[in-house]
Structure 1
Amino acid sequence: MKIGKAKTDSGAVIPVIRRIFAENGREYLGHYAIAIVCMLAIAATTAFSAWIMRDIIDEVFYRQQWHLVAWICGAIVAAFAIRGFATYGQSVMLAKIGNNIVARYQQRVFDHLMRLDIGFFTATRSGQLSAQISQNVGGIRDLLNMTVASIARDLVTLIGLVAVMVMQDPLLSAIALVIGPPLIISVNYLMRRLRRVTREAVEVNSRLLGAMQESVQGIAIIKAFTMEEQLSQKMTGLISYAEERSNKIARVSERLGPITELLAGLAIAGVIGYAAWRASVASQPPGTVFAFITALLLAYDPVRKLARVQVNLERALVNARMIYEILDIEPKQRDADGSVPLKVTKGDVIFDKVAFSYGENLSVLHGVSFTAQAGQTTAIVGPSGAGKSTLFALLQRFYDIDDGSIRIDEQDISHVTKSSLRGAIAYVSQQPYLFEGTIRDNIRYGRPDATDQEVEEAARLAHADEFIRQQAEGYNTLVGENGATLSGGQRQRLSIARAIVRDAPILLLDEATSALDNESEARVQEALEQIMKTRTTLVIAHRLSTVVNADRIIVLEEGHLVEEGTHASLVRKPHGIYARFHKMQSEKGEDLLANTTAGIGASIGANTEASTGAPVEPAAQETK
């Protein structure tokens, strides 16, 4: 999913700057005031350095007023001391503001992402999104600081130096200032070319960093399928393109350097030539000319910075726009007006003629109706793509249904707050996910106010306590990225413990024991049966052996509810879908058992023959 295309015309610049200052200006008014005072002090001392040159040349060296030397030297030391402290104060204050802005926008972007619907994250590559945010969030800080610095420091410094120049010699000032119009024209020309290239560079770098992040996360699959060379070739293309874009930005933006230097050289040469001619004709004291040339040379630095500030602003604006593109995405799912908290009394879950599609041509459910009774277990079975996981997603309001209704104790979930709805549900996915932190933290995410004793009790019920205590630091052991240091079964048991500690009235199990071995599955299933007794439980299962004891079984096929009943009633339907599934899985189990028995027999026979020299029939090895 593309986040969006920002406007590339210059008319989009002012609205972005205005928005940034409207959101942040008042918050940092005092800090910016201190920084601006420091910048004004820098500008004043810089102008003073040029002004004092006339007195140094004319009064001290030309007229030999030696008693002024001490005063002039003291003034110069004071000016440079003030400038040094002002530079320190300005730098520290702008850094403090910038760091706080970055922190605020990181928090703001994260909070906004948490409000967006599941569909946004399904359509957006997570690696690319995180890389884009990390690149772009500094754009707002840079834009604010550059704008303040260019106005309060560089522009004021230039104005002060130009004032010194004009006061010293208006005619020479006119000669020096003729470089202004061609410099402005050059800058505007470069900006039009730089704007497009900069956005392309930001986007390709986001793709590059995102691809690197995804490669690190999927390193096991990469090595298992020997994908190293394929991905290396893909990364080579992205890296080469990113390098080419960066080189183009450098070529375009740095063209300003020779243009500025050439124009400044022409202006300075013209001033020096005319001043020398005039001094030779009029025999004027050199102090005025020296002061003027000093001011002109000092003015070159702020002129150069102001000329480049638009180049730097373009980069910052591209980043700022892309951050606002994310912040301006409207969440598709909001609590309806007048939504109230869900109140679960019994826990009946009712699907009433529910229809849903992921898009115009991707219809998934067609008028599905059933009731999951409170305190009972309702199993949902069917082939892949039948819509089983979609039912869970709709019950948690990850998506809104197209037609029908979903009710809990006769409360339509579209009219209750999402937080209260999801707070009443504990969910165990077939793909357990662990977050940064300790094992204890990951279990406690189910209920933040759970005590250590409740966390450990949940782990015991999920048969996770034993392996947790074997870890280096027990419950305080840090998990690797997504629990990479734990086995799939261990991660799943922590996920089940998280659901147990949540203590919610509705329990959703999506192949909750699929990652466990037979022994662990049996133990966890026993624990789940204990906590399922007092809850409304919905179970998705592909292995029918895990749902034979369910109070009700719902069978889906191609988004339609085709059968429902108990295990005993459904297997008696000779042509039913459930009966066909059950027969297929039973036959697979018998074949597996037969093959295993034959293999064991052959192995025992071979071992016996090797030890006695006589062949032994496998049947003779059967265990009675």
Structure 2
Amino acid sequence: MADPEQTPLARKPRKLRLKQREDRGVMLRLIRRMFEENAHRFVKQYAIAIVCLILVAGTTAFLAWIMRDVIDEIFVEGNRAAIVTLPLIVFLTFVVRGFASYGQGVLLARIGNNIVARYQRRLFTKLTELSVDFFADNRSAQLAARVNQNVTGIRDTLNLTITSLARDLLSLVFLVGVMIYQDPILSFIALLAAPPITIMIAGLARKLRTATREVVDVNARVLASMQEAAQGITVVKAFTMERPLTERLEVLVERAEERSNRIASITERTTPVTEVVAGLAIAGVIAYSGYRAIVYGYSPGAMFAFITALLLAYDPARRLAKLQVQLERAMVNAAMIYEILDIEPRQADAGNARPLAIDRGEIVFDDVTFSYHPSEKVLRNLSFTAPAAKTTAVIGASGGGKSTIVSLIQRFYDVEGGAIRVDGTDIREVTKASLRSQIAYVPQTPYLFEGTIGENIRLGRPDASDEEVRDAARKAQAEEFILRQPEGYDTPLGENGVTLSGGQRQRLSIARALVRNAPILLLDEATSALDTQSETLVQEALEAAMRDRTTIVVAHRLSTIVNADQILVIDKGVIAEAGTHEELVDRPNGLYARFYALQNRRQGDDIVTLA
């Protein structure tokens, strides 16, 4: 005979039970983690807030309890003294309740705001620690939008837990106590509403968890699309992309609206059921208590106190009924925050990593192999030496691995095979911070941050003096246009310096590198955004800056590297040629010679861009 536990009908409920038990375990672990990280910081504030919440719960129950004396003493017995004392007691109860509500509201708001601020700082720190490949896999605008939506999840979870336990649960317990004290039988009738509501809420919470994660993702894509359109507005207008982008956004907005409506439907589905069940219970209590008062002469004060307690208990009971649904929404957001906080950087420092001490600055690539994707090798057993205090230029066709070399030196990625050494030390054995602090970097695409022109240059070395900032700007041939700005070095920049030309932005990027005054200088097509006149000026400045520094220059324009101490021609991830300009240009049928010939064929133009 088949085991009933092994039948398909039995297996499905058992799997469902296991899934529910697992979900409860995840929820409890998440709540425990949040309290462990935050509760000890606010012990005093939480204690005062909980006392205030207990006062709110106690005064609410007291108002129901005192109704018996109000009815019996004033309206039944006609006690004149009670006309003064009981209303005064009721008034004082409301005063205590009002100040307690104010106190807990302000305290929990301050705690919540501090929690949001701390997690914003933690998230920013974490994002800056994560490897470059993380941002290659995640769109920055969508990531920022998602973080913005999720960051309140931890605050909401903690506040919901505190207020639900210290106010709503205690209020319900106190009021039910008043009800049982007044009439146990009526209390039993009223409490029959609890089981069906609890069962329904548990089912809705499971549906809400999936829907909430979906709506967070879709809303993040909506906000990211808006941010990207704002950042690329010139491209949008130049290519008349307004209509297709609007249509794409419309699809996302409709999906977000549909999922938000679904969440609202799930969340509010508790309301009609709760109202119907509670209405039946309250109506039954009123009918039964009225019948007993009329037929058997029960005290109207006791009945009125019971009904008051029942009506007052409805509100905290309703909030507690929705608690699991609200917690599911808050905890989905909190869980998505922890997903980011728990990511381990792929280029983490080794446990025994030490600070890098540079003596000369020699850089050695020793049989280095690297790929962004397993199926496509970018560098293949690449070996070369960039001599200390010399300039090494790297040229080649696009996609050949030139910029990858610059990224690997800064350890944005880890090599798959071989090693990169600085003064004989494998860069994986030193801390990333100490390695990068010894490097000044000018990227191909300049990026400027929020702040003034002077602040953007000083980001290269925060402790640089004003004179050092100005000196770096002069060397980068940037001071002339800086002084023409409305406030000079104190001129605020638009988003990524939108009010400046591409050449001006690049010169500020170069000034930022120069003020760093590092022994290693990496130039990734640093003059690509400059016109011929600006390039000539900046090239003179760069040549002065490269003096006595180990410099690696990635270039498409041959005019920027003809004076390099050595030139490496990279082709499909390997070094095809190496030598000085004079040596390579005379090599028959060589790649460099071909590039140089292309340059000579450009009449009136001494710049060639490699394909």
TM-score, structure 2 as length reference: 0.94
Aligned to 1:154, what secondary structure does the other structure show?
helix
Matched, 1:474 2:488: yes
Aligned length, in residue pairs: 586
Matched, 1:502 2:516: yes
Alpha-carbon deviation of 1:592?
6.1
Aligned to 1:344, what secondary structure does the other structure show?
coil
- 1:464–1:493 contact (8 Å) kept in structure 2: yes
2:287 pairs, out of 273, 296, 304, with 273
Residue in 1 that maps onto 2:35: 21
Aligned to 1:437, what secondary structure does the other structure show?
coil
- 1:8–1:196 contact (8 Å) kept in structure 2: no
Matched, 1:238 2:252: yes
CA distance in 2, matches of 1:366, 1:486: 40
**Residue by residue, what CA displacement relative to the aligned partner does 1:9-47 show, whole Å, maximum 9, x if unpaired?**
343211111111111111112111111100111111111
CA distance in 2, matches of 1:15, 1:337: 28
Residue in 2 that maps onto 1:261: 275
- 1:8–1:195 contact (8 Å) kept in structure 2: no
Query: What letter matches 1:216 in structure 2?
Result: A
Residue in 2 that maps onto 1:348: 362
Matched, 1:197 2:218: no
**Residue by residue, what CA displacement relative to the aligned partner does 1:522-545 show, whole Å, maximum 9, x if unpaired?**
111111111211111111111112
**Residue by residue, what CA displacement relative to the aligned partner does 1:469-493 show, whole Å, maximum 9, x if unpaired?**
1111110111111111111000000
Matched, 1:292 2:306: yes
Residue in 1 that maps onto 2:8: none
- 1:425–1:508 contact (8 Å) kept in structure 2: yes
Query: What letter matches 1:590 in structure 2?
Result: Q
CA distance in 1, matches of 2:278, 2:461: 67
Residue in 1 that maps onto 2:400: 386
CA distance in 2, matches of 1:37, 1:339: 49
CA distance in 1, matches of 2:227, 2:467: 37
Residue in 1 that maps onto 2:11: none
Residue in 2 that maps onto 1:363: 377
2:603 pairs, out of 585, 590, 594, with 590
Which segment drifts farther, 281-290 or 297-306? 281-290
Aligned to 1:9, what secondary structure does the other structure show?
helix
Once the two structures are superposed, the pairs formed by residues 178-197 of structure 1 within 5 Å of their partners are 178-197=192-211
Identity %: 58
Query: What letter matches 1:156 in structure 2?
Result: L
Which segment drifts farther, 34-43 or 327-336? 327-336
**Residue by residue, what CA displacement relative to the aligned partner does 1:482-526 show, whole Å, maximum 9, x if unpaired?**
111111000000011011100001111111111111111111111
CA distance in 1, matches of 2:337, 2:236: 32
Residue in 2 that maps onto 1:437: 451
Aligned to 1:358, what secondary structure does the other structure show?
coil
Query: What letter matches 1:11 in structure 2?
Result: G
Query: What letter matches 1:475 in structure 2?
Result: Y
Residue in 2 that maps onto 1:485: 499
Which segment drifts farther, 126-135 or 60-69? 60-69
Aligned to 2:603, what secondary structure does the other structure show?
helix
**Residue by residue, what CA displacement relative to the aligned partner does 1:575-608 show, whole Å, maximum 9, x if unpaired?**
1111111111221x22769xxxxxxxxxxxxxxx
Residue in 1 that maps onto 2:4: none
- 1:62–1:285 contact (8 Å) kept in structure 2: no
Once the two structures are superposed, the pairs formed by residues 278-427 of structure 1 within 5 Å of their partners are 278-427=292-441
Which segment drifts farther, 80-89 or 527-536? 527-536
Residue in 2 that maps onto 1:61: 75
Residue in 2 that maps onto 1:35: 49
- 1:469–1:475 contact (8 Å) kept in structure 2: yes
2:131 pairs, out of 117, 125, 130, with 117
Aligned to 2:552, what secondary structure does the other structure show?
strand
Aligned to 1:25, what secondary structure does the other structure show?
helix
Alpha-carbon deviation of 1:354?
1.3
CA distance in 2, matches of 1:404, 1:297: 75
CA distance in 1, matches of 2:298, 2:385: 104
Alpha-carbon deviation of 1:371?
1.3
CA distance in 2, matches of 1:347, 1:196: 53
Aligned to 2:462, what secondary structure does the other structure show?
coil
Query: What letter matches 2:202 in structure 1?
Result: N
CA distance in 2, matches of 1:156, 1:357: 60
CA distance in 1, matches of 2:529, 2:577: 28
Aligned to 1:426, what secondary structure does the other structure show?
strand
Matched, 1:220 2:234: yes
Once the two structures are superposed, the pairs formed by residues 3-18 of structure 1 within 5 Å of their partners are 9-18=23-32
1:465 pairs, out of 479, 491, 494, with 479
Post-superposition, which runs of at least 4 consecutive aligned residues in structure 1 deviate over 3 A?
Answer: 7-11
Query: What letter matches 1:530 in structure 2?
Result: A
2:587 pairs, out of 567, 573, 582, with 573
Alpha-carbon deviation of 1:410?
1.4
Query: What letter matches 1:170 in structure 2?
Result: P
Query: What letter matches 1:546 in structure 2?
Result: T
Residue in 2 that maps onto 1:209: 223
2:62 pairs, out of 17, 37, 48, with 48
Aligned to 1:583, what secondary structure does the other structure show?
helix
CA-based RMSD: 1.3
Alpha-carbon deviation of 1:115?
1.2
Alpha-carbon deviation of 1:103?
0.5
CA distance in 1, matches of 2:22, 2:454: 49
TM-score, structure 1 as length reference: 0.92
Query: What letter matches 1:498 in structure 2?
Result: R
Aligned to 1:515, what secondary structure does the other structure show?
coil
Alpha-carbon deviation of 1:55?
0.7
Structure 1 stretches of 5 or more lacking a match? 1-6, 594-624
Alpha-carbon deviation of 1:195?
1.7
CA distance in 1, matches of 2:88, 2:44: 32
CA distance in 2, matches of 1:8, 1:463: 63
CA distance in 2, matches of 1:575, 1:530: 33
**Residue by residue, what CA displacement relative to the aligned partner does 1:319-339 show, whole Å, maximum 9, x if unpaired?**
011111111111111112322
CA distance in 1, matches of 2:543, 2:605: 28
Query: What letter matches 1:426 in structure 2?
Result: A
Query: What letter matches 1:577 in structure 2?
Result: L
CA distance in 1, matches of 2:559, 2:212: 58
Query: What letter matches 2:556 in structure 1?
Result: H
